[in-house]
Structure 1
Amino acid sequence: MANAAIYLFGAPRVELDGAPLVTDTRKATALLAYLAVTRQAHTRDAIAALLWPELDQTRARAALRRTLSALQHGRDLPWLVTAREQVQLALDAQLWCDVHEFEQCVAACPLPLIDADACAAYRPQLERAAALYTEDFLAGFTLRDSAAFDDWQFFQTEGYRHTLARVLDALVQCATVTHDWSAAIQYARRRLALDPLHEPAHRQLMQLYAWDNQHAAALRQYQECVRILDEELGVPPLEETTALDAAIRKHQAPLPPDHPVTAPPALAAIQPTQPPAAIPLLGRAIEWATLQADYDAISVRGGRGRLFVVTGEAGAGKTALATAFAQAQARRGAVLLATAAYPGETPLSYAPLSMLLQRAAAEPALRARLAALDPAVLAEVGRLVPTLAQFHPAGAAPPPDPVTAQSRFFTALAATFTALLAGDLPGVLLIDDIDCADRATLDWLTYFVRRLEAQRICVMLVWRRGELPAGHHLHRHAADGRRQGQVTWIDLTPLSRFDVARWVRLALPSRTTGHETLADRLYAETGGLPFFVTEYLHMLAQDDAASHAAAWRAPASVRDFLLARLAPVTEVARQVLAAAAVIGRSFDLPTVTAASGRSEDETVAALEELLARRLVIETGADRLDFAHAQLRQIVYDDLTHLRRRLLHRRVGDALAMQARRTGDEAGVAGALVQHYRLGGEPEKAAQSARLAGEQAQRVYANRAAVDYFRQALALGAPDACAIHSQLGDLHTLLGEYSQAEAAYTAALTHCSADQRADLEHRLGRLFDRLGDMAAALRHYACAHELLPSDATSLHARVLTDWSLAVLRSGEIGAAAHLAQQGLHAAEAAGDAAALARSQTLLCLLARRQGDVTAALAAGGAAVAAARQQQDVSILAAALNSLALVHADAGDPACAIPLVEEALTQATRIGDRHRAAALHNTLADLHHAGGQEEQAMAQLKQAVVIFAEIGDVAGGENAEIWMLREW
């Protein structure tokens, strides 16, 4: 009896007597992990719902049965206890799990430890627990199709990390008591790695380095603490940490304890990391590090100032990043002068600068600096801010000189800001939305930043991408400096999907499940734009039910934001944008031109305006897209019902005309359904729906074809009999036999007398698949009776299929008689496809009669004829029949390639039932050849499909599983 070991810290693995147990699927690994950790019996329904949420209860239970069967196949696993309704792992001496032992070791220790005796007594248990925790729980393992399991895994991981933190804190305490500094530092560094934002852990490591006489390491640890807190939270260290750093620098750190100590309360247990005060900075660590490094370099370079540019599209978080960074430097002691430009103040010269100077005059700390300025400088600047005359009432500006006036004024203004921003750290001049500033302000800023090399000043300008004229001197200077590495240029892009997922977890801490699904949807809705993410999460936090809605309505703030972006758009551009919104999120020039009713020149000019405003973007040589998904929806929603109908009709006509020119009517039929339906053209919509269904059927997109044909019927398409018949064929291929029968039955109510024989034939083939031979024979007989005298091809097909049903009923003589009639009818009709089908039947008859030679000849002829006809379904049947003959002859090596080709053809057309039967045949052939692993893999695939077809067909239909020849 094998001893088992389950390892769940790190990449999960299972060993039996030291050898790895290889599981066939990740679901099996997840099942063992879940049972091992929970250590209790679970109902099959609960486990099935957890691991297979995409399946209904019956199919999920079937998948669980297959997984359990695969685990136990050929193995002695007494600890895996499976009952009719429950599954569990039996905990005994034969089953060891690292998670169990980890928990037992921790449970044996009364944490926190209270004295040196406790440290000595429990240190071995704690060291064992720390050694067991090699990596995080199930590191690198995930189930992408089970959000519930991933959420369970996430919280288990957090719990074990929490416990490990307590263990490491206790080990640091134990090592400190014995002055084992090397071990204490090792445990403390591991403790800090669990949560780099846990400031007490930084202090603890600094203290241990100092006690171990590693003063340089202690000081570096403080610098690391400062860096991480700045990057992640935008805050300085606590006074307690700063004081410890100062003490270490002066070699006055507290002495190590010479007696037992109790773990500090702050270190006794890890606390959940709180979301940063400014969550919108999430995902901007690289940008923050770049800003900080270049800012710090200003002092290192000996007084060479630098221009910082933060740009990006509207809503990208430019203001949040720039403001947070500037404020972080102010908390460190830098002088900060911050303002913003506003669109309405463009006619006011120097408006942002005037505002800054007025604030400085009212600030006590800066008033003294203004008062110390040269009277001539104050007099010049007083032209802009008259209140500055209070500092030098007697000062008077020199008379204006047209040649030197501007230069003198710019110089005085630069001297004023240089004085205001002076300090131990480089001062920060921040102007947000500089693209809205007046021309005079931009000209002075160009003058000022060109002279920054002589000043210890950081000028930070924020503008919306594309809004500051590229030809302006300031833009050119910034661009030149960027190329030369003299300007720090931060171009903010949308957040990644990973960052959005982190944001979801931080912003919705009370939500315990579905984070990944919500993150996927939020990312799709917002495109990762921080402002949108913020507002949507605020909406979801207030109304959790909204997250489950089929469609999310944009929050009012997002709508207002986008409407404000639309406000300055010209009327022609609005019309083009409306036509684009009706087309869809992605559109092309010819279609939007035709739909908008504007000339090509007008449309191009409008699109150039929209591109400049970042309302649309180019996604290829000929295609454009809305910059935001919600922008398209807002534009569409604001259209009147009449305007929408008109535009949908125009778009439909434009697409149809383009398709006629290219000969690709079927390719656009799916889009035409939508536009003509919403454009009030039901007849055109129905015609397009049928065309789209036939195109989908041609490329074996069976599910899409079903949807289109149903739409065609709902829209009143003519020839309902043919459409219902096509639906029946598609449901048959999909293994949805009850729907197929309903479709054929509906077709019978709409068909003519000439069509009835064909429908009875189709019903016969349906019941033949289901193994209901009695019903199949009735329908074949009815079809034969109803056949018109001139239907020779259909006559051959009916006789052939009828013969197969009789053969499967065990009446070989009668089947042979019908087969010969079918062969003669196919030859008389000159129907090569029917002839190939007849040859396949003759092959099966000869096989039943034990005539291998005749069976091989007929099978070979059937395959050759089917290849010539390029009929996938007939070819798959012929290949399967010939393979069965080779298998009977004891030649699996010849049979296997034939079945594999037949499987490829059946899969190609989406015939799920026959694909399952072919998987089953391959399993038998591999088993006969001694290839057990391949046999098991094929059998599992067969079982999955058979089970799904059985569920859809309704009830337990064992005949479905018996399909082998057709």
Structure 2
Amino acid sequence: LTHAAIIGRSFDLPLLQDLLGIEEPQLFDVINMGLERGILLEDPDRADRYHFATPLFAEILRREVAPERARALSRRIGRWLAARREGDSAEEIERIGFHLARGGEGKKAVAYLLLAAEAHRKNYAHTEAIACYEAVLQIVTAATTPHAREEDERSHRSGRKGEGQARRRGEEGRSIEVDPLEVLRNLVDLHTLVGNYQAALDLLATHPALDPRKTLEGRRGDLLFRIGRIPEAIAVMEGEFQRSGGRLPRSRFGTLGALLVEALRQLFHSLLPSRHFLAKVCAPRPEAEGGWDTLLYLMRAYWFVDLSRCLMVHLRALNQLERRGASPHLARIYAYHAAVCAALPLFGRALAYATRSFELWEKLGDAWGKAHASLYLGICHHFTGAWEVADRFLGEAAEKLSRYGDPWEAEMAWSFRGYNARLQGKFREARSAFQHAYLAAAQVNDLRSMGQALAPLAELHFLMGEEERGKAEITEAIAQLEATQDWMNLVVALNAAGRIARYAQEGGEEALRSLERGTRLVERYRLRSDHNVEIFLSLAEAALDRFGSTADPHWRQVAWKGWRKGYRLARHFRNYLPHALRVQARLEATRGNLPKARRLWQRTINHATGAGTRYQLALACYEAGRAALTQDDRFAEALLSRSIALFTEIEAPLDRQRAEASLRRLR
């Protein structure tokens, strides 16, 4: 059975018989003994295949074989399997490669292991592909280290050529023509796909020893971004992009100028079919190591901190890559550009580019790419208010990206699913989606994404009655997003903190501090997102609360300014128009213009009903009912009763209690 253990946990009788060199009756005596003692199990599908009952049995038996004997047996097993190879399954090829590697036949082993790794990648078996690439990297680096070369030279001088190689990896180990940096790049990409970010960063620390002339700093920057170290990530990626031959403007004026130039180039490209007159001006950047990958990583990082720079890089990449035809890089740029256009907002352009990305991935036959494009299609439909379509695309993206790899993108799909459900007033569904997003981020220790998911989750917990939990979570979310300097999602967290403070009735000052800080971040970093609508409108509401308690006209002025800024954006992000109209109605009510306020509340109710934003509909009914208390008791009672029914349906007990208290006062 020791020979069977060298084969592996599973073994075939013909191979074992060939290794032992015995007749079938003797072989079956050994097998029957193993079956009787519970060491072996029969394969239910193949009569000539057996398994060790536990991996521990095989491990104990392997230790009884001397290393030289085990190496010779592995070499024989690898050659036997290669000679009788029946198919192209990744598992079979991998088995051959590992046996040849253990047997010291490095060059042959590398060929099989690379084939197995590629087959595993096509099947999205990332963990198995990682094992194959790690074995290849170990063989290749062992054959090319300075110590190995010195040992070979000493053996050559002493007349014992080949002895050193045989001791290390076999006679073929030293002549392997594989780029170790390429193997390392594949390993890093696979670790990234399964969320092993720290393992990938540790691997990258070894790359200068492999080839000091080349660099994988772009991938290191992407990994730093994924674990939330955004400023450091951007600095690393900008340095790498410039080393690869690209140029980036240094000042804000230079960024805006470059953005204008790239926009004009794209306009010319769109209007004129022949682009030869721009061939020199728009020539692609030098094909340095990882240049385009670095550009992709950069544009995604800029999205969170500098939208104008992000858009400039997008247009530059589009102007250069569209001239080259279909490619994975172009498909990903289309998807990222769609999200930027949705935030501007240019919804028609956003949907067109997201659709192009999906079609391009379909043409390339890449299932992961189609899932990636589905995510951005879902984001674009979310911004346009097509809730059901958005939820379908986002659900498909979350499920497939979790299966194919890339927890970072899967977390984003779950987060947008949560926002999609929250705007519709489906609080339970939203909470479940944000919990999925938070767990996906926590599994890979992605601090930035954890904060991104935790901020809206904290507000939902508070609104659904878990007040202390909501307060603790929003404090944690703000700390995480401050640490990672994700300004866009920090605005979301500060907005949630301000609204929680308003509901908790801990004084208007705390709510105003959080919301004013959020609006300053929006203006300082020129952030562009649908969340900006909410922060300005929430500030207006907090200022109105303060005005109601102090009668200080300064706060009404603050409310008007916040409302104007929010309303300008809400006209584009129409999902938030009911919120803007509701705040405007409150403003008119504070001025004593109740007829106009009632008309605005009616418009709010109509818009919220049409858009399907049930939470805003419930709030509008509640506020309109309260305002009508002294004017029309029957109308007020109808509105308050409707708001109570809606708050009950969407599971918002705090809002329901407020509405019930107003109804009791009326009665």
> Which has the larger strand fraction?
1
Q: Return the TM-score normalized by structure 1.
A: 0.35
Q: Which has the larger radius of gyration?
A: 1
Q: Return the TM-score normalized by structure 2.
A: 0.49
